[in-house]
Amino acid sequence: MLKDVEREKWGSRIGFILAAAGSAVGLGNIWKFPYLAGENGGAAFILVYLFSVIVIGLPLIYAEILIGRTTNRNPVGAFVTLSNNHPFWRLFGFLGVIAGFSILSYYSVVAGWTLGYIFEAIKGTFYSFSLPTDAANHFNSLTGNPYWNVSYFILFMLLTMSFVYFGVQKGIELGSKFMMPLLFIILLVLLVRSLTMENTNLGLSFLIKLDWSVVRPGTFLLALGQAFFSLSLGMGAMLTYGSYMNKKDSIISSGFSVVTLDASVAILAAFAIFPALFAVGMEPNAGPGLVFHTLPIVFTKMQGGYFFAILFFILLALAALTSTISLLEVITAYFVDEKGWSRKKAVIIFGSLTILLGIPSALSFNVLSNFTINSLNFFDLIDFISSNIFLPVGGFLISIFIGYFLGKEKSIENLKQGSESFFDKYYWFGNIWFFFIRFVSPILIFLVFLRSLGLI
């Protein structure tokens, strides 16, 4: 470990909040959350999701940021420092770096589709479709083209690398200060357009009127999983971003702001999509095909749809980009901190290696579509291992580390730094947070883990 290396810091508190919120806000908010809400009763699912964010998301985001800020290190260096180089926790630190590497390799393939669909929207391709099946067939033909898939994947990776290449302040923070406000502006424009369409009452009712009859035990686990995964927990991103945080800044208020922004994007996306969906007579339970199969038809049926389709896919691309930047930063921080590499060297080498690993995922929809392991193609296999194993295991062990290894006294002491006035007023907060981290979070994450493996 190279402790004499001068590390960058965020230029401002708002810079950290926007960058961390950008890491959390991704395709899971704008794509996955709306279709999960559509499949699980709308308003009831949203309420369960918000409850899940409070009980699992907020405590864990505080924990990850705390570990990073306390040590000013990447996931490996952080756990080595706090565990006195315990071999198990050192190995666990590597899990965060490996998770970031593997998730980035296939997530950027999907992110590349959002870039491709910006150009499809500009070309006016959607106006040749009359049914969602037409849009689905077109989507399949595009992803079935290896040149289309690989080209946009590489282009997206190069965009990601360019931000991380220029550093924490001049690259990631500056980019986040531009992209996150733009993301919210576009989202609000789409929201206003959706709500001003005729016959939006059904869509609003779907999102506002509670119907608990549609809620099943599995709904709670689904919402818990969405809250956990949408906040980029368990992969070392929040830990790494926290390591650049000034100790004078409050983890409490900053973490709360990140969680609030993340949940707000998910809910605003649902309100931007479903009123428009109902207004044109489409069903809310489109599932994963909502974005690429169903919404293109919605845009053709709304006034100004050409313009709003372009905006929507720019929105998706921005959300994906702010997430991929944080994933590459996890890998970069390790080699800068622990190996003494220059940032530029780390970005070029591991950005290139990520592209090489991601090409088989991009080819899983065409050239390598018949190559499967246990009925999973390469893309699905990397997705399964990363999302269903690496992330929940990462979140579970972070809770265990704080709750049973670092301990209550040290954890709360470090949490208080920068939040002294808050703890003077709410002296009991540290005890409540630690209780959730030690007892509640591990149980809930373990249940999410079992569900992700299909065991419950």
Angle formed by the axes of helices 251-279 and 13-24, nearest 10°: 40
pLDDT, tens digit, for every residue of 132-187? 899 999 999 999 999 999 999 999 999 999 999 999 999 999 999 999 999 999 99
Q: What is the mean pLDDT of residues 27-50?
A: 87
What is residue 7's predicted lDDT score, i.e. its pLDDT?
A: 81
What is residue 28's predicted lDDT score, i.e. its pLDDT?
A: 85
- pLDDT, averaged across the chain: 92
What is residue 4's predicted lDDT score, i.e. its pLDDT?
A: 44
What is the C-alpha separation between 299 and 278, in angstroms, rounded? 12
Q: Which residue has the higher pLDDT, 163 or 206?
A: 163
Residue whose C-alpha is closest to residue 22's, from 34, 10, 38? 10
What is residue 5's predicted lDDT score, i.e. its pLDDT?
A: 52
Q: Sign of the C-alpha dihedral, residues 365, 367, 369, 373?
A: negative
Domains, the chain: 13-452 (1.20.1740)
Confidence of residue 202 (pLDDT cuts 50, 70, 90): confident
What is the C-alpha separation between 333 and 319, in angstroms, rounded? 22
Whether residue 1 has pLDDT greater than 80: no
Q: What is the mean pLDDT of residues 414-429?
A: 94
Q: Sign of the C-alpha dihedral, residues 15, 20, 23, 29?
A: negative
When mean pLDDT is compared across 78-92, 186-200, 205-219, the lowest value belongs to 205-219
Distances (CA, A) of 94 to 24, 98, 145, 155, 159: 21, 6, 35, 28, 25
Q: Sign of the C-alpha dihedral, residues 113, 240, 97, 381?
A: negative
pLDDT, tens digit, for every residue of 67-119? 999 999 999 999 999 999 999 999 999 999 999 999 999 999 999 999 999 99
Report the SS3 class of residue 372: strand
DSSP, res 247: T
The full DSSP string for 60-110 is HHHHHHHHHHHHTS-HHHHHHHHTTS-HHHHHHHHHHHHHHHHHHHHHHHH
What is residue 287's predicted lDDT score, i.e. its pLDDT?
A: 61
Whether residue 379 has pLDDT greater than 80: yes
DSSP, res 8: P
Whether residue 2 has pLDDT greater than 90: no
When mean pLDDT is compared across 46-50, 124-128, 219-223, 377-381, the lowest value belongs to 219-223
Q: What is the mean pLDDT of residues 358-368?
A: 95
pLDDT, tens digit, for every residue of 276-296? 888 888 776 666 678 898 899
- The residue with tokens 């699992």 is 56
Long-range contact pairs involving 395-398 (C-beta distance under 8 Å, separation at least 24): 395/60, 395/228, 395/233, 395/234, 395/441, 395/445, 396/234, 396/442, 396/445, 396/446, 396/449, 397/92, 397/95, 398/60, 398/63, 398/64, 398/67, 398/233, 398/234
What is residue 286's predicted lDDT score, i.e. its pLDDT?
A: 67
Percent of the chain, pLDDT > 90? 74
Whether residue 397 has pLDDT greater than 80: yes
When mean pLDDT is compared across 59-73, 267-281, 399-413, 435-449, the lowest value belongs to 267-281
Report the SS3 class of residue 138: helix
pLDDT, tens digit, for every residue of 316-341? 999 999 999 999 999 999 999 999 99
Please give the backbone phi and psi of residue 376, each rounded to the nearest 5 degrees, phi first: -110, 130
Percent of the chain, pLDDT > 70? 98
